[in-house]
Amino acid sequence: MASEHHAGTAAQNKKAYHDYFVLEDMEAGIELFGTEVKSIRQGKINLKDSWCSIVDGELFVNGMHISPYEHGNIFNRNPLRVRRLLMHKREIMRLQGTVKQQGLALIPLAVYFSKGRAKVKIGLCKGKKQYDKREVEAKKDAQRSIQRAMRDR
């Protein structure tokens, strides 16, 4: 799937596209505190080693680093705290069943703002093997050389 750019994209997880095949993606809200929202608006967020888990019918994101807001003083929270994602219960149950049966992973792909609210794009992902990564890289190189040849005409 092609990566979709939103007007207010704060962060993208490029490593996820390198390490996983994204089978399906969906949008979820995220439960944040005020200083975290301000920090995200400044682009101080890292999704590189983050993943999602489902506990007691609730969806959580782990490992997402949101740097403390400079002017937040006592209101700043732990940058690596586990944050709850907001989705409908039936969607979470469907994801849980799919993840358990097929051995897939839920990976945050992007964080962006939609109508003033922070949203997380979550991907239902299958891990890539080393040979898959090499194959994808070879295709990209071939495509790049074709584009270069067309441009140099």
Which pLDDT tens digit goes with each residue over 14-34? 888 888 889 999 999 999 888
Q: pLDDT (tens digit, 9 = 90+) per residue, 43-72?
A: 889 898 899 999 998 999 999 988 888 876
Residue 60 near residue 125, CB atoms below 8 Å:
no
> 54 by DSSP, 3-state: which?
strand
- What pLDDT was estimated at residue 152? 81
Spatial distance between the Cα atoms of 111 and 52, rounded to a whole number of angstroms:
13
With contact defined as beta carbons under 8 Å apart, do 51 and 95 qualify?
no
Q: Using one digit for the tens of pLDDT, what is the confidence trace for 86-121?
A: 999 999 999 998 888 888 989 999 999 988 889 999
The C-alpha atoms of residue 22 and residue 5 are separated, in whole angstroms, by 16
- pLDDT of 6: 56
pTM: 0.79
Higher pLDDT, 129 or 2: 129
Architecture of the domain whose range is 8-128: Beta Barrel (2.40)
Residue 2 CA to residue 106 CA, distance in Å, equals 18
Mean pLDDT over 112-141 rounds to 89
- pLDDT score of 144 more than 90: yes
pLDDT of residue 7: 61
What pLDDT band is residue 73 in, cutting at 50, 70 and 90? Answer: confident
